[in-house]
Chain A
Amino acid sequence: MLTIVSNIGKYMLMMWEVFSKPQRLSIFWKRFIEEVNIIGVSSFPIVMLMSVFMGGVIALQTASNMDVPLLPEYTIGYITRQSTILEFSPTIISLILAGKIGSSVSSEIGMMRVTEQIDALEIMGVNSLNYLIFPKIMAAVFFFPIIIIFSMLLSMLGGWLSLVSTGLSSSESYIYGLRSFFRVYSVYYALSKTVVFGFLIISVSSFYGYYAKGGAIDVGRSSTKAVVYSSISILVANFLITQMFLL
């Protein structure tokens, strides 16, 4: 319990340093663009693949469980859209990204710690927390919503492909379902969640990387912890945000 409280305090103090003014803005922008590429653009292939199959499975599962004849066929499109926008794209894709990005961020910073590169930055007079972590957080906060919008669209496309190819529903009724009872608020809610998840993935992973000690095995352990705790923090934040903004 004491360790948890101590780690939360350490995390807060770390965030205080991370969000200080960058020492040189031009270097911050250069790092921000690099991080958008590393964290954001490079994640597109896996997100695309996941989203198409995820949408396909949601549509198939819904269609296969539509036993009541009173339910209109367009319900499949409606349920696919709602599940995708509200939960599957923002939460499941974020959990996958916590694995992909979280481990990479944590091991990158952890290796810098154990090879004394962070000490070298500090000795030069650089605020290492701000220099290393701030551009990563900003890149995630900026780019995660873009990734998730793509994921939503591809998921719905995946649903359409699976239904049309199996003949479980007509294209027209699926598209009608997608457009039925649409509330823009759902998208705002999902994107807000994504921003929080992006922040949590990068900050929690950076925390475990930055305070890594020892050698390669310890960096590996930190990386595992980073993925586990960022995933847990996503699940807790998801619950709290849903409580606060959707109910």
Chain B
Amino acid sequence: MIEIIGVNKSFGEHAVLQNINALFDKGKVNLIIGASGGGKSVLSKCIVGLHEVDNGQILFDGKDVCQMNELERRELRKKIGMLFQGGALFDSMTVENNIMFPLRMFTGMRKPEMRDKVNFCLERVNLAGKGHLYPSECSGGMKKRVAIARAIVMNPEYLFCDEPNSGLDPKTSILIDNLIQEITYEFNTTTIVITHDMNSVIEIGDTINFMFEGKNWWQGNKNEIVQTENPQVVDFVYASKFMKQIKEKLK
């Protein structure tokens, strides 16, 4: 479980996060949604300690990441898996070596054991037999799946996904969403997904935090978000004609 209490973050005069409070449950897919520039990515980077917060607390199962020194943060990060927007795969390594990298770095596993683990992860993301490819030879969807495989190879307790569907076709997006959901339930991870993809919101949003102008504007789940009358949320969720039609039908 991750708890955020009264977090503020500014870049110079510009307040990006203002008094953010949120609770991300274990074994659930927790979404952070909101328009671009609303502070979602900054919040996720603050949670994993890539940005320092101005004040407030970020508790990982009761331990405040803001009070930790760099070594303690590195230890905590070994329990974190992160899927970056562009995949962030190491382009000088093959898919297999990308996934094997954390195992090489932090475990005393022998090569055959590592290979087995990598093959298990590749099968889990439906990429069996693709370990020899380089990232430049993979499609966008494959890159995301490789990044998921790399994120789960160390059996993380916390999984962060930064816009996992950006740049993907609807079918692949659903595949990635389902994969994130399955992994969350299977490994009982605390999963935080940053997205503005409404399909994801409706499909996998166990808990949803809507951010607007650096504030945590609304909290609920996928059933509540389609019924809420909060004007900012309604503006965001029903921005497209397609979603407006759905709203009419729901009425």
Contacts and interface: CB of A to CB of B under 8 A. Distances in A.
Interface of A: 23-24, 27, 115-117, 119-120, 122-127
Given A123-B48, A125-B74, A125-B77, 13 more contacts: A23-B106, A115-B86, A115-B91, A116-B88, A117-B88, A117-B89, A120-B82, A120-B88, A122-B50, A123-B80, A124-B78, A124-B101, A125-B78
Interface residues of B, number: 23
B105 A124 contact: yes
B84 A120 contact: yes
A115 B160 CA distance: 17
Nearest to B76: A125
Contacts of A23: 105-106
A119 B50 CA distance: 8
- Identify the 10 closest CB pairs spanning chains A and B, nearest first: A120-B88, A125-B77, A116-B88, A125-B78, A125-B74, A123-B82, A116-B84, A124-B102, A117-B88, A123-B77
Nearest to A24: B105
A24 B80 CA distance: 20
Contacts of A126: 74, 105
29 contacts: A24-B104, A24-B105, A24-B106, A27-B104, A115-B88, A115-B91, A116-B88, A117-B88, A117-B90, A117-B91, A119-B50, A119-B88, A120-B82, A120-B84, A120-B89, A122-B50, A122-B77, A123-B48, A123-B77, A123-B80, A123-B160, A124-B102, A124-B106, A124-B154, A125-B74, A125-B75, A125-B78, A125-B106, A126-B74
B102 to A, nearest CB: 5
B85 A124 contact: no
Contact of B74 (A24, A27, A117, A127): A127
B63 to A, nearest CB: 15
Contacts, number: 51
Interface string B60-88: 00000000000000111110101011101
A116 B86 contact: yes
A19 to B, nearest CB: 15
A214 to B, nearest CB: 14
Contacts of B50: 119, 122-123
Nearest to A126: B105
Nearest to B106: A125
Nearest to A114: B86
Contacts of A122: 50, 77
B102 A119 contact: no
A75 to B, nearest CB: 51
A52 B160 CA distance: 56
A138 B84 CA distance: 31
Contacts of B106: 23-24, 124-125
Contacts of B88: 115-117, 119-120
B143 to A, nearest CB: 11
A209 to B, nearest CB: 15
Contacts of A119: 50, 84, 88
A26 to B, nearest CB: 8
A43 to B, nearest CB: 19
A125 B104 CA distance: 13
Contacts of B102: 124
Contacts of B76: 125
A24 B104 CA distance: 9
Interface string B88-121: 1111000000000110111000000000000000
Contacts of B78: 124-125
Interface in B144-184: 154, 160
A123 B82 CA distance: 7
Nearest to A108: B92
B167 to A, nearest CB: 14
A122 B78 CA distance: 10
Contacts of B89: 117, 120
Task: Report which residue of A116, A119, A120 has the largest number of chain B beta carbons within 10 angstroms of its beta carbon.
Answer: A120
A239 to B, nearest CB: 37
Nearest to A123: B82
B112 to A, nearest CB: 17
Contacts of B80: 123
A120 B84 CA distance: 8
A116 B89 CA distance: 9
